[in-house]
Amino acid sequence: MRPEEARAPGRDAGGSFAPGAPISTATGTEIFVARQPIFDRRQQVYGYELLFRSSLENAFHADNQDQASFEMLHTALLGFGLDALLGDKPGFVNASREVLLQEFYLVLPRDRTIIELVETVEPTPEIVAACRALKEAGYRLALDDFTRRPAMAPLADLADVIKVDMLMASESERRAIVREFAPRRVQLVAEKVETRAQVEEATEEGFTHFQGYFFCEPEVLHTADVPAFKRNCVRFMAELHRPELDFDKLEQIIRQEVALAVKLLRYLNSAGFGWRHEVTSIYHALRVLGERAARKWCSLVALTVLGSDRPPQLVMTSLLRAQFAEQVGREAGLGARDVDLFLVGMLSTLDGLLGLPMSAALARMPVAAEIRDTLLGRRTGLSAVWDLVLAYERAEWSRLSELAGAADVSVGRLPGLYRNSVQWVDRIFRS
């Protein structure tokens, strides 16, 4: 997939999915790197495609793809670190013609990365020879937007992964690709998968992996009823969002849901709150935290329980958005609204977690009107920051300057804030 195709898919403004978590680092010149998850048949994250730009100014300049590739490989990836970008998952790294021919990919560890040849690279004898050298060096090769044509046969013979555009390739073309390459044990990735129907169609055709915006679309995950443990979490979060907290009610709900109690105690004892003694009484801990902190940290714990049967990426996206929105809000002079912005991010995947449309999901809890309106796409005092957060996440580099100006935030500050947020989420999941 070309970097310019890391677009926003046009869901509701609440952002009910995780199209990619942009990560960037500033080293004199801004470098933006985004990642988009690739899922297996169990809807677990298999790996990430890394998408890149060398600056805001050349965000859509296809004639500078080689330079953007070079800067991504040598600055963003190496400067940021693959562990932070990928965790324990493999990374698909786009390779332009020059990156391939000059073997710039050799700076990447062969066991962590899959070199993805962008579809604009023509299969000349020189390119085929370079791909053979890539395979001999121990790297895996992926072909993007693959089509069955005679000229592609030499590259197809070398490919470990073949990606097929669900929107561009016909059903007969897709089935022919599966028939030819599935017996060769080639991983077949269906790209631009945006609905459950497309997932089922691609699965039935024989695709084993999927890339797109399907996995937390509300109608995709809709269920007839909300499981009991989720109802308790929703009740808990509803109490957390009342104008005045009733700590007795909160403790009563926690006592009815073992997972909430265990996770909350574990988190409060491990997240660096600085308690003198181990926390054994949730009621006492909530009182000591106070209302603002209790709303924030208890929502975090409830969310992780709520998402226990969903792809982990969904919960990670919520936490990442929450922390990033809080930090961007402070930069925008909204420090007094930091908890509200945190909760907007935290609740932004509630529809996917419950399998309900956002409006129905929010109807189950009395969140503040401004938080609800922001998540439903109505203009509020939080919208400027929230729009900027979502644009950065979706790698919409061409809009960042305008949105940052509207939020009164320096674009140059965003990479560092995002990096801090990624590290914060990593610490949460390790605790």
- pLDDT tens digits, one per residue of 299-337: 777 777 776 666 677 778 888 898 999 999 999 999 888
Specify the pLDDT at position 26.
37
The pLDDT score that the predictor gives to residue 204 is 94
Q: By the 8 A CB rule, do 120 and 95 touch?
A: no
Task: Give whole-number Cα distances, 275 to 17, 292, 301, 354, in Å.
Answer: 36, 18, 18, 34
Q: Picking from 213-222, 274-283, 324-333, which range would have the lowest pLDDT averaged per residue?
A: 213-222
Q: How confident is the model at residue 181, as a pLDDT?
A: 94
Q: Is the pLDDT of residue 129 over 80?
A: yes
pLDDT of residue 11: 31
User: Where is pLDDT greater, at 26 or 352?
Assistant: 352
Q: What pLDDT was estimated at residue 254?
A: 73
Residue 367 or 136, more confident: 136
Angstrom distance (rounded) from CA 405 to CA 392: 14
The pLDDT of 239-264, averaged and rounded, is 72
Q: Catalogue the E-assigned strands of 41-151.
A: 45-53, 91-95, 113-117, 140-143
Q: Tell me the one-letter amino acid at 117.
A: L
Helix and strand numbers (H, E) in the chain are: 21, 9
pLDDT higher than threshold 90 for residue 407: yes
Band of the pLDDT at 30, cuts 50, 70, 90? very low
The predicted pLDDT at position 353 comes to 75
221 compared with 292, residue with greater pLDDT: 292
Beta strand pairing call for 161-165 and 187-193: parallel
Rounded distance between C-alpha atoms, residue 156 and residue 141, angstroms: 9
**pLDDT of amino acid 70:** 56
Q: What is the mean pLDDT of residues 49-70?
A: 53
Q: Where are the domains of the chain?
A: 20-212, 228-430
Q: How far apart are CA 48 and CA 342, in angstroms?
A: 26
Distance separating alpha carbons of residues 8 and 390, to the nearest angstrom: 9
| 100 backbone dihedrals φ, ψ, rounded to 5° | -70, -50
Query: Residue 280: what residue type?
Result: T
Q: Which one-letter DSSP state was computed for residue 331? A: H
What is the token pair recorded at 406? Answer: 């509207």
pLDDT at 291: 77
- Model confidence at 97, pLDDT cuts 50, 70, 90, reads confident
In words, the CATH class of domain 20-212 is: alpha beta
Give the strand pairing for 29-40 and 23-27.
antiparallel
DSSP at 195:
S
Of residues 261, 389, 355, 253, the one with CA closest to residue 16: 355
Q: What per-residue confidence (pLDDT) applies to 336?
A: 87
Q: Are 25 and 76 in contact (CB under 8 A)?
A: yes
- Helix orientation angle between 282-289 and 291-306, rounded to the nearest 10 degrees: 130
Q: What is the CA radius of gyration of the chain?
A: 23
- Kindly tell me if the per-residue pLDDT of 77 is higher than 90: no
Burial level of 316, CB count in 10 A (0-12/13-18/19+)?
buried
Task: Tell which wins on pLDDT, 236 or 420.
Answer: 420
> Coil, helix or strand for 23?
strand
Q: Do residues 403 and 386 touch, judged by C-beta distance below 8 A?
A: no
Which carries the bigger pLDDT value, residue 317 or residue 170?
Answer: 170
Picking from 241, 279, 301, the residue whose alpha carbon sits closest to that of residue 288 is 279
Greater confidence (71 vs 284) lies with: 284
If you average pLDDT over each of 141-145, 220-224, 286-290, which comes out highest? 141-145
For position 266, what pLDDT does the model report?
A: 67
Residue among 10, 8, 22, 155 at smallest CA distance from 80: 22
Highest mean pLDDT among 94-98, 199-203, 247-251, 420-424: 199-203
- Check residue 393 and give its pLDDT: 84
Whether 411 shows a pLDDT value over 80: the answer reads yes
What class has domain 228-430? mainly alpha
pLDDT score at 333:
94
Q: Which range, of 40-44, 122-126, 204-208, 362-366, averages the lowest pLDDT?
A: 362-366
What average pLDDT does range 178-196 have in this prediction? 90
Tokens read off for 198: 């497309």
Confidence of residue 44 (pLDDT cuts 50, 70, 90): confident
Give CA–CA dist 396/7, Å, rounded. Answer: 7
Split at pLDDT 50, 70, 90, the class of 189 is very high
Task: Check pLDDT > 80 for residue 283.
Answer: no
Q: 73, 99 in Cβ contact below 8 A?
A: yes
How high does pLDDT run on average in the chain?
A: 76
Confidence check: pLDDT of 399 > 60: yes
pLDDT for residue 34? 65
Rounded distance between C-alpha atoms, residue 372 and residue 89, angstroms:
34
The mean-pLDDT minimum among 86-95, 303-312, 385-394, 404-413 falls in 303-312
Span of 51-60, 288-297, 348-357 with lowest mean pLDDT: 51-60
Contact 138/103 with Cβ under 8 angstroms? Answer: no
The first and second tokens of residue 413, run together, are: 């500050």
Q: When comparing pLDDT for 324 and 9, which is higher? A: 324
